Structure 1
Amino acid sequence: MPSTEGWFKASDGLGAEVVGKPSLAQRRREALRLEIAGEAVRLFTSQGVAGTTGEEIARAVGISSRTLWRHFPTKESCVLPILSAGLRFAVDQLAAWPSGMTLVDFVTRTGRSGTLPPAAPAILDLIRMTSTEPALRAVWLQAHDDALPVLAELLARRSGGSADDLRTKVHAAAVNGALRAAAEEFAHRYADDPEASGEEITACVLAALRAAAEGLPY
C-alpha cells in the first residue's frame, strides 16, 4: 500500500487529497500553522483556554493578529494542525500493513517497536483538555471527522472496493472511533507517567480495535 504522505491539504487537516508534492508556499504555510498550534497548546496548558487570547497566541509566534485570524477562525481552532498531525501519523503507520493480515494482528506485531508521534506531549495535553473544554472537544472531533474519508480510502484500496460503499464507511468509522477512544484512554491513563511509550498506546489501540471487531453484542 502506498504511503499517505502528500495526501493532505495543509489548510484542511486530513480532509482532502492533493496531487503531487506540496509547493514551497504550502510547506511554509503548514510550518506556520504548526508553530501557531504549538504556541496555542503551550498557552492553553499554562494559563487555560479562557485565560488565553488570540492576540497572545499571535504575539508568541511573532505575527499579527490579522495573520492569525487568516489561518484560524477561533483561538481554539489553532490547535487543529497538531491534532491532525497525530492522526496523520497513525494513518501513516497503516502504510506498512501487509495484505493477508488482520489489522489486530498487524498492530500486535508492530506494537513491540511502536513509537509515538514527535508532537506526542502536546497532543496528549490537548486530548486531556478536551474533556473539560467543549470548544477544544469540537476541534478534536473535527480532526477525526476530517480523517474519516482518508481512512475509508485506505480501506477501499486494500479491499478493492469503493470508499463510498456503506460497508467501507462503517468500517472506517469503527477504526476511527477505536483510534479516538484509544488515544483518550492513553492520554488520561498515563497523564502522570511521562515515560509512557509506544507500547502503552499500542495496548490501548489493540483493546479498542478488539472491542470494535467484536461487533455489537446487544
Structure 2
Amino acid sequence: MDAVHVGGAQDPVVAGGGPAARGGTRLGRPPLTERRKAATRLDIAHAAVRLFADRGVAATTAEEIATAAGISQRTLWRYTSSKELCVRPLLTYALDVVTSLMRSWPRDRPLVRAVVGDSASLPASATDTGALRDLVLLTRTEPGLRAVWLQVHRDAEAVFAEVIAERTGRSADDLAPRVQATVLNGALRVAVEQWAGGADPQPSELPRTIARALEIAQPGLPG
C-alpha cells in the first residue's frame, strides 16, 4: 500500500445527502465548495477504478491515480488516506441520496418506494454504471476493495436503522429497526452484486434488479 498522509483523512460524507443524510439537519443543495469537493472525489474514484481494472490495485500507485485525476499527489492525500479508499465516493453517493430521500419520505407511503424511485432516477453522472460494475467485480478479487465495499454498507446500515427508527417511533438501538436496516442494506448490496455479475448488465437493469430484491425483502421491511 502507498504511504498514507496522516493529516488527510477522507471525509466519509460524499455528496447528495452528505451531512444532511446522516444528521438530518440540512436540506437542499450543498454549498458550491462542497459540490466541487464531491466532484473531485468522484473524479478520483473514476480514475482509480480505471487503473485498478486495467492493472490491479497492487500495481497501481497513488501518483498514477493523482495524474489520471488531474491533481497532485499531495492533493490526493487531502481527499483520501489510501489507494483503496479512493473508490469510496463511487459507492457512497447513491446510498447517501437514498438515505436523504428516506428521511423525507411521507410516512403514509411505503419506505421501500423511496429506494426504488431513487434507484431509477439517480443522475447518470453520479452513478456511472460502467465504473460501478467494474468496481463491484473487482471486490471479488481485491481484498482491499472488498473491505471498502463491505464497510460502506456497514456504515449505511447504521444510518438506515436511524431512519427506520425515526419513522416508527423506536430507538435506533432497538432490535426491530436494526434487523429491518440489515434486511434493506443486504437487499441493496446483493442486488448490485447480482447485477454486476450478470453476463450483460445493462444500466437499465440495475434499478429493476434493486426493485426485485426489495420486493423479495418487503416482508422484513417497515411500511
Query: Shorter-chain TM-score category?
Result: 0.7 to 0.9
Q: State the Cα RMSD in Å.
A: 3.1
Say if 1:174 and 1:193 are closer, same or farther in 2 by CA, change over 3 A. Answer: closer
One-letter amino acid of the structure 2 residue matched with residue 12 of structure 1:
P
Shift of residue 65 of structure 1? 1.3
Q: Distance in 1 between matches of 2:110 and 2:25?
A: 30
Taking structure 2 as the reference length, the TM-score comes to 0.74
Shift of residue 87 of structure 1? 2.0
- My pick for the range that moved more, 152-161 or 137-146, is 152-161
1:46-195 mapped onto 2 (5 Å cutoff): 46-92=54-100, 94=102, 98-102=106-110, 106=113, 114-115=120-121, 118=124, 119=127, 120-189=129-198, 191-194=199-202
2:80–2:86: 8 Å Cα contact kept in structure 1?
yes
Q: Distance in 2 between matches of 1:38 and 1:108?
A: 24
Aligned length: 200
4+ residue runs of structure 1 moved beyond 6 angstroms?
Answer: none
One-letter amino acid of the structure 1 residue matched with residue 135 of structure 2:
L
One-letter amino acid of the structure 2 residue matched with residue 36 of structure 1:
I
Question: Please, which runs of 5 or more residues in structure 2 have no aligned partner?
Answer: 1-9
Shift of residue 150 of structure 1? 2.2
Question: Please, which runs of 5 or more residues in structure 1 have no aligned partner?
Answer: 1-9
Aligned partner of 2:23 among 17, 20, 29: 17
Taking structure 1 as the reference length, the TM-score comes to 0.76
Shift of residue 26 of structure 1? 2.7
Shift of residue 122 of structure 1? 1.4
2:160–2:181: 8 Å Cα contact kept in structure 1?
yes
Shift of residue 179 of structure 1? 0.7
Q: Distance in 2 between matches of 1:177 and 1:116?
A: 20
Say if 1:164 and 1:117 are closer, same or farther in 2 by CA, change over 3 A. Answer: farther
Q: % of aligned pairs identical?
A: 46
- Provide, for residues 84-136 of structure 1, a one-character-per-residue CA deviation record: whole Å limited to 9, x for no partner: 013234445646855445456x489859x934652222112111111111110
Alignment of 1:204 with 2:213, yes or no, is: no
1:183–1:201: 8 Å Cα contact kept in structure 2?
yes
2:46–2:90: 8 Å Cα contact kept in structure 1?
yes
One-letter amino acid of the structure 2 residue matched with residue 86 of structure 1:
A
1:179–1:205: 8 Å Cα contact kept in structure 2?
yes
- Residue 197 of structure 2 aligns to a residue in which SS? helix
